[in-house]
Amino acid sequence: KVKPQLEEKEGKTFDVFTAVEFKTQVVAGTNYFIKVHVGNDEFVHLRVFRSLPHENKPLTLHSYQNSKTKHDELTYF
């Protein structure tokens, strides 16, 4: 659901977009930190926010870090 949001911010499309790892952080909703393989040896770390159920809002790409590798640790950002 956040792939189109990232593609719009980056100004390109990703043929490969596979989550390989994730962590969560509970706040007033949930932050998801997701390591995504985007092709070749390239990875992007996403921070996605899911609001509380009663707010009925879509998943939001809060921020991201590109130029990551398979071995980069997925941390809070």
Residue 18 maps to a domain:
yes
Token pair 């939001």 in the structure block, residue:
60
Which residue type sits at 11? G
Residue 75 maps to a domain:
no
Residue 5 maps to a domain:
yes
Q: What is the pLDDT of residues 4-15, one digit of tens each?
A: 999 999 999 999
Q: What is the span of the domain harbouring residue 50?
A: 1-69
Residue 29 maps to a domain:
yes
Q: What is the pLDDT of residues 33-73, one digit of tens each?
A: 999 999 999 999 999 999 998 999 999 999 999 999 999 99
- The DSSP element (H or E) to which 27 belongs, if any, is strand 18-27
Residue 77 maps to a domain:
no
Residue 11 maps to a domain:
yes
- The DSSP element (H or E) to which 37 belongs, if any, is strand 29-39
Q: How far apart are the first and last CA of the chain?
A: 20
Residue 41 maps to a domain:
yes
Residue 76 maps to a domain:
no
Q: Residue 63 corresponds to which tokens in the numbers above?
A: 């921020």
Its pTM stands at 0.89
SS3 52: coil
Number of domains the chain is built from: 1
Q: Residue 68 corresponds to which tokens in the numbers above?
A: 């990551």
